[in-house]
């Protein structure tokens, strides 16, 4: 260490020989003035809440709050216009929906038509052998079909299938009488009546009888009824003749 | 009261100021340290106007943060630490200002030393001018070395005190002092020949 000081002896001497720089004469006065000014500024300093509740700041902020409240009640944020169109689920198109259902209905209708055609063939054969059995089977089959077919469209389809089958095969006297008899038996009245829609199973979706089906029913006049009765008698007489021949 | 206070040491005065908020104690400390601090800061900065501001700022900090002084350390160490930090900050601020003001006109980004014929060694006749040369040479010494050289060779502080002020090891202080002296010797070659 002493070697180092010897080495730089000249430098150390030069530095130690420098004149001492003194503070300015008014140093202490300036210092006191600055300290007092800081004290004064500290006393003047307002608190946080005092700064906030100054009218110059309070009025604009209150105005802003009022505008925000008004905007909140005026603007309906739940309106559809405000919804993001990318987040809204598309509306269901009824026509497209109906088409898809119709396809299913068509399939079911085809299946039912096939079943119906099979069942129709069986009673036609039996009709020739036994009139009583035919009537009962017709009645049962019609009731079963009416119970099974809870859909109006299906039932209408069944009816149309029946009519088609009748048109193709020809309306035999036995079949006609059977239909007539079932009508009279089920309704338990001589005249066919129009069923009420409200009391029917169509509305409730329960088991549906043939009377409740929504096909066209014609009110026969007395003359027409007489003609029908005559035809019935003729058919019955013909059947008896056939039986006696067999 | 004033006479009694003048007899107290620096540490006793600052404690008196801390406990009883005695303004006279603070004023005595200011009287004791205003010149040494002014000398230290002036030698570091080389500018008297800014030096006075830095020393005043140092005293204001002592006044404001008197409670942060710990009686474990010497008062001189504490006050020199404050003054050194403020002086360094001021020096860097001045240097930035000079760089932006002069370098903007230069083609290359380097500072220019303006020739001063009066500071030539053969022209030196007066001790005042000699002081000026040494001061300019000090200004050219690296900042970290300059501070320790001033504290050691001008202010006369011990190595331990300097290490406490700067917060570095005593060995680091010694090596910095040697490097600073070496740089200064190189800069002041001409003066010694005479």
**Residue A47, phi then psi, degrees to nearest 5:** -75, 170
Structural domain containing residue B47: 1-109
pLDDT given at position A27: 92
**Same domain, yes or no: B16 and B91:** yes
**Is A129 inside any structural domain?**
yes
ipTM rounded to 2 decimals = 0.79
Interchain CB contact of A27 with B (< 8 Å): yes
The pLDDT of residue B4 is 81
- Would you call A31 and B30 a contact, using CB atoms and an 8 Å cutoff? yes
- Is A95 within a domain? no
A140 and chain B: CB distance < 8 Å anywhere? no
In a domain, A71, yes or no: no
Contact A34 B60 (CB under 8 A): yes
In a shared domain, residues B103 and B30? yes
Looking at the domain assignment, is residue A213 inside a domain? yes
Structural domain boundaries, residue A133: 109-232
Disruptive mutation site among A23, A34, A42 for chain B (greatest number of B CBs within 10 Å):
A23
Which among B42, B154, B192 is the nearest to A15, CB-wise?
Answer: B154
Q: In this predicted model, which residue has the larger pLDDT, B72 or A145?
A: B72
CA distances from residue B169 to A79, A204, B162, B179, B182 in whole angstroms, order as listed: 73, 101, 9, 16, 20
The domain total for chain B is 2
Last residue of one domain, picked from the residues B59, B80, B109: B109
Which tokens hold the place of A58? 């309070």
Return the number of CB contacts < 8 Å for A and B.
81
Q: What is the pLDDT of residue B141?
A: 92
Residue that finishes a domain, picked among B87, B109, B131: B109
Token pair belonging to B81: 């630490």
Q: Is residue A161 part of a domain?
A: yes
Pair B53, B148 in one domain = no
Does residue A239 lie in a domain region? no
Instruction: Name every chain B residue with its beta carbon within 8 A of the beta carbon of A22.
Output: 35, 38-39
Question: Does B185 lie in the same domain as B129?
Answer: yes
pLDDT along chain A (246 residues), means of 10: 78 88 91 84 68 80 92 72 71 60 74 82 54 51 49 50 48 46 45 45 54 68 89 91 86
Place of tokens 């140093």: A27
> In this structure, what CATH number is given to the domain that contains residue B153?
1.10.10.10
The per-residue pLDDT for range B18-31, each reduced to its tens digit, is 999 888 999 999 99
- Looking at the fold, whether B70 and B133 belong to one and the same domain comes out as no
User: Could you tell me the CATH number of the domain that includes residue B68?
Assistant: 1.10.1740.10
> What pLDDT is attached to residue A3?
74
Question: A4 vs chain B: nearest CA distance in angstroms?
Answer: 7
Low-confidence winner among A107-116, B32-41, B45-54 (lowest mean pLDDT): A107-116
**Does the pLDDT value for residue B49 go beyond 60?**
yes
Question: Same domain, yes or no, for B2 and B23?
Answer: yes
The whole-number pLDDT of residue A181 equals 46
Distance CA A241, CA A158 (A): 33
Same domain, B78 and B61: yes
B43 contacts B145 by C-beta, under 8 angstroms: no
What is the predicted pLDDT for the residue at A156?
Answer: 52
Do B75 and B127 reside in the same domain of the chain?
A: no
Give chain A's domain count. 1
**With 60 as the cut, is the pLDDT of residue B149 above it?**
yes
pLDDT recorded at residue A10: 86
Domain endpoint, select from B86, B109, B132: B109
Say yes or no: B138 and B193 in one domain: yes
Top-confidence residue, A102 or B55: B55
């Amino acid at each position: 260490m002493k070697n180092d000081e010897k080495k730089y002896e000249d430098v150390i001497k030069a530095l130690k020989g420098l004149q001492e720089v003194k503070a300015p004469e008014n140093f202490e006065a300036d210092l006191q003035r600055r300290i007092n000014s800081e004290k004064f500024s500290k006393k003047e300093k307002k608190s946080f809440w005092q700064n906030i509740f100054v009218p110059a700041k309070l009025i604009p902020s209150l105005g802003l709050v009022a505008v925000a409240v008004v905007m909140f009640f005026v603007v309906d944020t739940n309106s559809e216009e405000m919804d993001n169109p990318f987040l809204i689920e598309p509306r269901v198109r009824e026509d497209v929906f109906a088409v898809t259902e119709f396809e299913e209905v068509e399939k079911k209708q085809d299946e039912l038509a096939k079943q119906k055609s099979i069942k129709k063939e069986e009673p036609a054969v039996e009709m020739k052998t036994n009139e009583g059995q035919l009537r009962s089977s017709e009645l049962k089959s019609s009731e079963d079909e009416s119970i099974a077919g809870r859909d109006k469209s299906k039932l209408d389809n069944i009816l149309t299938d029946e009519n088609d089958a009748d048109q193709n095969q020809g309306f035999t006297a036995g079949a006609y009488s059977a239909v007539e008899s079932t009508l009279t038996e089920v309704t338990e009245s001589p005249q066919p009546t129009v069923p009420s829609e409200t009391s029917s199973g169509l509305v409730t979706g329960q088991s549906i009888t043939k009377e409740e089906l929504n096909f066209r029913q014609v009110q026969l006049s007395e003359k027409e009824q007489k003609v029908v009765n005559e035809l019935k008698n003729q058919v019955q007489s013909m059947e008896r003749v056939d039986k006696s021949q067999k | 009261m004033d006479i009694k206070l003048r007899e107290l040491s620096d540490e006793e005065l600052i404690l008196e100021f801390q406990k009883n908020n005695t303004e006279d104690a603070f004023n005595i400390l200011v009287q004791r340290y205003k010149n040494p601090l002014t000398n230290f800061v002036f030698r570091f900065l080389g500018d008297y106007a800014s030096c006075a501001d830095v020393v005043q700022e140092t005293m204001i900090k002592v006044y404001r943060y008197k409670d942060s002084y710990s009686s474990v350390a010497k008062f001189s160490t504490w006050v020199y630490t404050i003054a050194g930090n403020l002086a360094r900050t001021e020096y860097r601020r001045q240097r930035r200002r000079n760089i932006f003001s002069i370098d903007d006109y230069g083609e290359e980004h380097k500072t220019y030393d303006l020739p001063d014929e009066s500071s030539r060694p053969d022209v030196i006749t007066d001790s005042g001018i000699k002081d000026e040369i040494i001061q300019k040479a000090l200004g050219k010494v690296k900042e970290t070395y300059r501070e320790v050289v001033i504290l050691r060779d001008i202010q006369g502080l011990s190595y331990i005190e300097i290490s406490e002020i700067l917060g570095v090891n005593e060995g680091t202080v010694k090596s910095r002092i040697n490097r600073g002296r070496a740089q200064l010797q190189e800069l002041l070659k001409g003066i010694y020949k005479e």
